[in-house]
Structure 1
Amino acid sequence: MESNYHTLKRTDNQLLVITHLSQLLTYVTGFGGLLAPLIIWATQKDQVDSMDTHGKAILNFQLSVLIYSLLSIPLILVFGLGIVTLILIGILAFVMPIINAIKASNGELPSYPLSINFIS
């Protein structure tokens, strides 16, 4: 008989919380908010229950934030509109990981607004 050992995933809400909060490394290092969750997701998606769903949501959000930020730069020349959008993106990119970390600790699925679905 074949064992189902390899298909069993462990529940680890703490790691899901850490994965969401690791996005805040962007405010410390400038780039860690994409790298850290990517590494955690890539190494743990097959071992931790819901990691694949949470990791994809985080990566889609981080890539969306990057694109929205790049698109805002030329808008700075248009009446400073880009500055306003960069501030809003910065607030969203700070608040949403915290909200979704709380959701993850409660066993809920993440929801990131304005995310483009790059990884499905």
Structure 2
Amino acid sequence: MSDAFSPPPSPGGEVSADQRQMALFSHLSSLSGLIIPLGNILGPLILWLVKKDTMPFVEDQAKEALNFNITLGIIGIVLTIITVVTFGIGAVLTVPLGILLGIAWLVLTIMAGLKANEGQYYRYPFALRLIK
């Protein structure tokens, strides 16, 4: 029995260069959220939908990126609600948390992309597994 953070067993054999590159793109496509609203979710979602039937490694990594970005979106919404409900007083807590969350998102996304490019399954440390 494996926990939620352990990578799935390798489907057998070496991961092809094409799959490694597409898996890298699936993680780094979430950086489009810096430019395009919801790009951090749309990028991995599109790659997952396009490649899920033909590239198992890409399917796994795109799902992982998608789940991570959805999780961060939920956390961002909760922080915003806390700020609004407390009439801005909660911003003393939520703004620093939001900044830390943004830094963690950037660092973890880059780390995930690098691991995927090496052909390694990557699991984000705090992601709800909403898309199975």
Q: Does 1:113 align with 2:120?
A: no
The residue that corresponds to 2:25 in the other structure is 18
The residue that corresponds to 1:73 in the other structure is 80
Alpha-carbon distance, 1:91 to partner: 0.8
- The one-letter code of the counterpart of 2:118 is N
The residue that corresponds to 1:7 in the other structure is none
CA RMSD, 1 decimal: 1.5
Distance in 2 separating the partners of 1:79 and 1:68: 14
The TM-score, its normalising length taken from structure 1, stands at 0.85
Deviations 1:61-111 (A, max 9, x none): 011000000111133332610101111111111111110110011110112
Q: Which runs of 4+ in 1 moved over 3 A?
A: none
Question: Gaps (5+ residues) in structure 1?
Answer: 1-9
Question: Gaps (5+ residues) in structure 2?
Answer: 1-14, 84-88
The residue that corresponds to 1:82 in the other structure is 94
| Superposition map of 1:1-120 within 5 A | 11=16, 12-76=19-83, 77-78=89-90, 80-120=92-132
When the two structures are aligned, how many residues end up with a matched partner?
111
| Aligned sequence identity (%) | 28
